[in-house]
Structure 1
Amino acid sequence: MKSLDVKIWGVRKRPTKRPAYDVRWSVAGNVMSESFRTKALADHYRAKLLRATRDGEEFDDVTGLPQSMADSRPTVTWYAFALRYLAMKWPHAAPNTRDGINESLTSVTLAMLEERPGRPAEAVLRKALRNWAFVLPGPDDRELPKDVANALHWVSKASQPLNYLGDPVRARAVLDSFKLRLDGKAAAAETVRRKRRTFVNALHYAVDLGEFKENPLTAVRWQKPKVSREVDPRVVANPQQARALLCAVSYVGGYKRSRGRRLVGLFACMYFAGLRPAEAVGLAEPDLVLPDVGWGTITLHRTRPSVGRQWTDSGESHDDRGLKNRPAEDVRRVPIPSQLVAVLREHLDTFGTAADGRLFYSEGGGVVASSTYSRAWQEARELALPPAAVASPLARRPYDLRHSALSTWLNAGVDPTEVAERAGNSVEVLLGRYAKCLDGRQEVANRRIEDLLSEYE
């Protein structure tokens, strides 16, 4: 938008900070300022603004500059800035975080394209951004397929300038674009919040680079979708159901090929020890203490999350890293009951270990893919559960075995501090997530209240 409603004030000296001289003016009621190290530079800048007003030039509402001064100032496009932001974030981000940043930058870039002739198909644009632009090495450091190179060239020309986001209406439009999926349906609340989080962080970086005085999103009143952090009690399997599911896994894929049998221990670790899938996948024989009688121990110090080879530094599909939300060298000791000790001893006797000592490995000796154990789990559900339960959320994902484990421990009366330590969570997160899964607490509270009232009858 352009405006002739311009007021130019004088040069103000700041006593302590450098640069020490501010030039302040307003455009359509919006106050602008520019800082300089010397009074002479500030006066010169103010003189140029005054000359533009005398010549009747229109001032831009977003940049606050007349056309003559805006043309002399290089314009940074959102796409060029996004590539710079990615290069800054990538080396220090975990693979899953890299994937999330990539997805978020792609969404913002698509929302920041102006209409120009020759626009490629939406699928081509998304593929070029996801697979080639917002990964390292970047598009300038490797040879691109012709269709990708053409698409990215079009994006570089069609991308709106970064200062486009200085208008709250435009910034809100970008935020609103996060709420829709490709098929036009509402996006998941967690997806929307993740994209917004990356967007906000990117614009903080723009402030650091001097592109904005402050993050432009602070001027946007936008309601973030609410995300439920609580575990749905319907996914929690009781001990009888969990045992039936573990038994059913052993029947998946037949006895000779052992596609399911080699995964029984993996799922058992999630249920009896409350491990995350990536923690169970990374287990090795030296991490175990398996006595002949009684409780054993698992010492966790690594995870093998499945993230995709384009996001890892090694080029492998599974990252090899420390425990979640802990220093890289930290460990977590988890006591395991005799039932799990027996399962793991049988697994070692039957299948041994991979070449690097891992307990659970594919038929070719590689890391077990999440798609592999997820398919086996779905087949086991159909074998173990009645049709109505199969259609329900009950233990729908392998991760729900961990939810079942932690809910069982809490309902057994185990101190929440101990449960949190074994699970690798904080007590606050634990109780907040599993509040709805604590069966029988109302009956206990009712009984105590009734006993108290009876004393006064």
Structure 2
Amino acid sequence: MTDSSTNLSYDVRLYKIDEYVGKRKTTYRVRWSVSGKVFPKTYGTKKLAESFLSKLTTAAREGVPFDVRSGLPLPMAKRLTRRSWFQHACEYVDMKWPHISPGHRRGISETLTQATLVLLTGDRGKPDEALIRRALHSWAFSKTARDGKDVETTTPPDEFASAIRWLKDNTVDMSDFEDAVVTRRVLDALSIRQDGKAAAASTIARRRATLHGVLQYGVELKTFAANPIDTISWTSPKHDDEVDRRVVVNPTQARTLLAVVRQIYPSLEAYYGCMYFAALRPAEARHLAEQHLTLPDEGWGEMLLVGSTQQTGQTWSDTGAVREDRPLKHRSVKSTRTVPICPELVALIKRHLVEFGTGPGGRLFVTRTGPFGRVPLKAYCNPVHPNTSTRFWDKAREKALSREQYASPLARRPYDLRHACVSLWLNSGVPATQVAEWAGHSVNVLLKVYASCIDGQDEAAKRRIELALDTPTDPGPPRPERGWNGRETCPKISLKHGENRV
């Protein structure tokens, strides 16, 4: 009998040992079949051949299933194909690396590092946990740091050599994930931050998805028959993808903030303006160049987005540079996106070009102040660093908002300006399909993320329901009675005894 889903079989036949007498030496061949497929194994001595045949015989008598692919009893097949977690995790990183963004690479490394720390098997000679964490995150789980080579053929830096050598021999076998206790232990560890507090619901969901992908890769390699995560009832905390409407600024607040930015760091005014008036992501604004703009003297303009500039860090980029130009989010390499520019933003960008000009490649938003406050040469003006835009945005909020507003989530991040723009478009009655095209979303994601930011729909919906039910809002005075001929009749007056009609 053969189980096709697990490649295990109990249909086993054993044959006698074949003796082959050669000119130089005599060899002994053990033959057996599993599900009709014959497997041979040759030994140099008869005792070794008999010992191996004895193991096969014992396994068959005890009802142990045989692996159809290797022909060995299941316990022997597992030992033969042993695959450690550390080896599997490194190979998964190498498989995913060319197809994902630098930020995604960093997220996978963080998740695998956290998981590895709870999958260690011994304490003898164990390096310090902080060293293990650095070795995993900064080298083992970064293909760029390994110069594109696999872990087995690359010599790690001296700082990490002892930790990597110890990790190769001291992580659990992948087959251990068939025990639900091991899988659950990893999931529980991924829901905790390094300081011991619970991680955010979105972080837990992202980490669980990464672990699921790692184990699914094991299914592809035939390490598992099914993904171990799917066999346990572990539910990650619910998280809400909707934008918190408290972060959304109104036009008056947005213009006040931009005016303050002009006072404290004027070269960033148009940078934030592109997020509020055109719904650009920060990385898209950093990639924006003068040749991508159409700025008429009057009316609306247009910008053509062709990519984004990601601040990645050397460890996660393909080139080892700290930043990297990449395609638009969730789009192919050649994809572009056209976004309209309102007259107010047209004037803002024109003023920016007159006062500050452009950087290398015609980029609009680059560093304007170098070390010691000196203006760097144009060739050395790099795209605005995210830390710079975040720092000056916080200063603008502190100066422009009240104490209560500053302590609130209102426009806490520059990215919240994009949320405000998309919300404004939707509330202005622009069709969701058009907003999705301008913002670089799918319609489904757009309505899911911005559902709580769409105002003014409740009253209109109530009026439509009233019309459907034909329910009068004000019944008014009672209508006069009419006789058989359709004319209004006089109201009936009841007279008491002794009274006359006037």
* Corresponding residue number in structure 1 for 2:239: 227
The 3-state SS of whatever aligns with 1:298 is strand
Match among 188, 192, 206 for residue 200 of structure 2: 188
1:145 Cα deviation from its structure 2 partner: 3.8
Within 5 A, what are the aligned runs for 1:270-419?
270-363=275-368, 364=376, 365-419=381-435
* Corresponding residue number in structure 2 for 1:213: 225
Within 5 A, what are the aligned runs for 1:142-221?
143-221=155-233
2-structure distance, mates of 1:262, 1:401: 17
Within 5 A, what are the aligned runs for 1:28-67?
38-41=36-39, 48=55, 50-52=57-59
The 3-state SS of whatever aligns with 2:132 is helix
The 3-state SS of whatever aligns with 1:454 is coil
1:114 Cα deviation from its structure 2 partner: 1.8
Amino acid in structure 2 at the alignment position of 1:453: T
Bigger radius of gyration: 2
Call closer, same or farther: CA 1:197–1:379 in 2, change over 3 Å.
same
Call closer, same or farther: CA 1:84–1:13 in 2, change over 3 Å.
closer
The 3-state SS of whatever aligns with 2:10 is strand
The 3-state SS of whatever aligns with 1:251 is helix
1:385 Cα deviation from its structure 2 partner: 0.5
Check conservation: 1:295, 1:338, Cα contact below 8 A.
Answer: yes
* Corresponding residue number in structure 1 for 2:123: 116
* Corresponding residue number in structure 2 for 1:98: 105
1:415 Cα deviation from its structure 2 partner: 1.4
Check conservation: 1:248, 1:380, Cα contact below 8 A.
Answer: yes
Call closer, same or farther: CA 1:218–1:336 in 2, change over 3 Å.
same
Deviations 1:392-431 (A, max 9, x none): 0000000000000011111111111111111111122111
The 3-state SS of whatever aligns with 1:182 is coil
Call closer, same or farther: CA 1:369–1:158 in 2, change over 3 Å.
same
Determine if the alignment matches structure 1 residue 443 to structure 2 residue 455. Answer: no
Determine if the alignment matches structure 1 residue 251 to structure 2 residue 256. Answer: no
Amino acid in structure 2 at the alignment position of 1:395: A
Call closer, same or farther: CA 1:36–1:296 in 2, change over 3 Å.
farther
Amino acid in structure 1 at the alignment position of 2:165: H
Match among 422, 440, 453 for residue 471 of structure 2: 453
1-structure distance, mates of 2:198, 2:248: 27
2-structure distance, mates of 1:302, 1:73: 48
1:130 Cα deviation from its structure 2 partner: 0.2
1:192 Cα deviation from its structure 2 partner: 1.3
Structure 1: state its 5+ residue gaps. 1-10, 26-34, 60-64, 253-259
1-structure distance, mates of 2:413, 2:73: 58
1:182 Cα deviation from its structure 2 partner: 0.6
The 3-state SS of whatever aligns with 1:40 is strand
Call closer, same or farther: CA 1:46–1:384 in 2, change over 3 Å.
farther
Check conservation: 2:11, 2:34, Cα contact below 8 A.
Answer: no
1:299 Cα deviation from its structure 2 partner: 0.7
Amino acid in structure 1 at the alignment position of 2:400: A
1:66 Cα deviation from its structure 2 partner: 7.7
The 3-state SS of whatever aligns with 1:319 is strand
Two-structure CA RMSD over aligned residues (Å): 3.0
1:339 Cα deviation from its structure 2 partner: 0.3
Amino acid in structure 2 at the alignment position of 1:179: S
Check conservation: 2:97, 2:105, Cα contact below 8 A.
Answer: yes
2-structure distance, mates of 1:74, 1:40: 20
**Greater CA drift, 218-227 or 383-392:** 218-227
* Corresponding residue number in structure 1 for 2:484: none
2-structure distance, mates of 1:13, 1:409: 58
* Corresponding residue number in structure 2 for 1:5: none
Percent identical: 44
Deviations 1:58-115 (A, max 9, x none): x9xxxxx989836862421100111111111112222112112111211221121123
Call closer, same or farther: CA 1:100–1:241 in 2, change over 3 Å.
same
The 3-state SS of whatever aligns with 1:304 is strand
1:39 Cα deviation from its structure 2 partner: 3.6
Call closer, same or farther: CA 1:50–1:372 in 2, change over 3 Å.
same
The 3-state SS of whatever aligns with 2:304 is strand
Check conservation: 1:18, 1:37, Cα contact below 8 A.
Answer: no
Check conservation: 1:23, 1:46, Cα contact below 8 A.
Answer: no
With the length of structure 2 as denominator, give the TM-score of the two structures. 0.77
Call closer, same or farther: CA 1:369–1:445 in 2, change over 3 Å.
same
* Corresponding residue number in structure 1 for 2:249: 237
